[in-house]
Amino acid sequence: MKKVVTLGEILLRLSPPGHDRISGSQSFDAIYGGSEGNVAVALQSFGLQTSLVSKIPAHAIGDAAIQSFNAYGVDTSHIIRGGERLGTYFLENGYSIRSSKVVYDRKHSAISEAQIEEFDLDAVFDGAELFHVSGITLGISEQAFRLSQAFMEEAARRKIPVSFDFNYRAKLWSTNEAKSKFLQVLPYVDVAFAGFLDFTTFLGLDHALIEVAEIEDYQKIYKTINETFGFQYIVSSFRDVISASKNDYQGLVYNGTSEEVSLSKKYSIDIIDRVGAGDAFTAGFLYSYLLNKDDLYKVEFSTAAAAIKHTIFGDSLKVNVEEVESVFQSGAFHVQR
């Protein structure tokens, strides 16, 4: 069984029921997630072996967080216990013309103060065939950045492919801070999850070059990026926001070796919960990548996984491979490309 190691912060999400407002709400649904943890849960549901590495407090909330990931089969044996608090965020799900809102309460969380010396890297990477981390973890704190960088360097040293999702969050840090840190870790990255905003903001692509009309335009843009960075794959998703509760969604895979672009079907989605859709997209690609599927399958599986996640409440995608395949193979749930 393929093994994937992820590193990231476990977050407690508190949401008013349904589409209620935070203001005035008398109750909140509690869900444990976090970008890399969401990827681990989805990959586990696809039949892969996953290990989530983190640091969380040694108290009852920390216990509940571990139990939530154990319930889906994720290996939590490399989560160390300590620190004072678990990161928390409040989510108000938008609807129609009302946008979603997020309020973070995560400063000085346990993972933000973790030291590389606290982890047994030989045990963490034993049998691993891929390592995944996101820009969210890099942006939590300076210490979290150094921790992430050390893990990426160690994976690369062991010739374990490194997957990195830019996943920029303006609430965590500035674009200048993020660009400086991203450029330090990109030499370790084999699979990059990034979009046009990342290309122009962090990778130096001239915004004027992004004029997309045909598949050849995509090919030119991604080839230009890869001439500098040499990724094995660049993977992107595109979202056309009709309203907070209706989006069109499509995926793209660029193969750095063949220089070919593969586009998925485009889905028109009625949204129950958008959180974690990007993580489902990431997990869909990594599953297909590790099983050596062809590039068209990779992008169709990734996009269908993300499309399904929009229809599921909570942070994580919890469906099997057959359910994802049935969506993109049926042709019944997408709009014209």
Query: Domain coordinates of the chain in residue numbers?
Result: 3-335
- Yes or no: say if 6 and 51 are a contact pair by the CB < 8 Å rule: yes
**Arch. (CATH architecture) of 3-335:** 3-Layer(aba) Sandwich (3.40)
**Strand residue runs (E) in the chain:** 3-7, 11-15, 29-33, 49-53, 55-56, 80-81, 87-92, 101-105, 130-134, 162-165, 191-193, 233-243, 246-255, 261-263, 266-270, 334-335
Q: What is the pLDDT along the chain (337 residues), one digit of tens a residue?
A: 689 999 999 999 998 887 788 787 888 889 999 999 999 999 999 999 999 999 999 999 999 999 999 999 999 999 999 999 999 988 888 788 888 888 888 899 999 999 999 999 999 999 999 999 999 999 999 999 999 999 999 999 999 999 999 999 999 999 999 999 999 999 999 999 999 899 999 998 887 677 766 777 888 889 999 999 999 999 999 999 999 889 999 999 999 999 999 999 999 999 988 899 999 999 999 999 999 999 999 999 999 999 999 999 989 999 999 999 999 988 656 654 4
pLDDT value for 143: 97
In angstroms, the CA 314 to CA 329 distance is 25
SS (H, E, C) 143-195: HHHHHHHHHHHHHHHCCCCEEEECCCCCCCCCHHHHHHHHHHHHHHCCEEECC
pLDDT value for 227: 94
pLDDT value for 335: 54
Q: CA triplet 149, 42, 109: central angle to 5 degrees?
A: 45
Q: CA triplet 212, 202, 137: central angle to 5 degrees?
A: 120
pLDDT value for 337: 44
Burial of 120 (C-beta count, 10 Å sphere; 0-12/13-18/19+): exposed
Closest among 110, 89, 109 to 101, alpha carbons compared: 89
- Yes or no: say if 284 and 42 are a contact pair by the CB < 8 Å rule: yes
Cβ neighbour number for residue 140 with a 10 Å cutoff: 25
Q: CA triplet 247, 249, 254: central angle to 5 degrees?
A: 160
pLDDT value for 57: 97
318 alpha carbon, distance to own chain's centre: 15
Q: Which position has the token pair 């028109």?
A: 268
Element (H, E) at 39: helix 35-45
pLDDT value for 214: 72
pLDDT value for 274: 87
pLDDT value for 103: 84
In angstroms, the CA 217 to CA 215 distance is 5
> What's the pTM?
0.94
**What string of DSSP letters covers 247-263?**
EEEEEEEEETTT--EEE
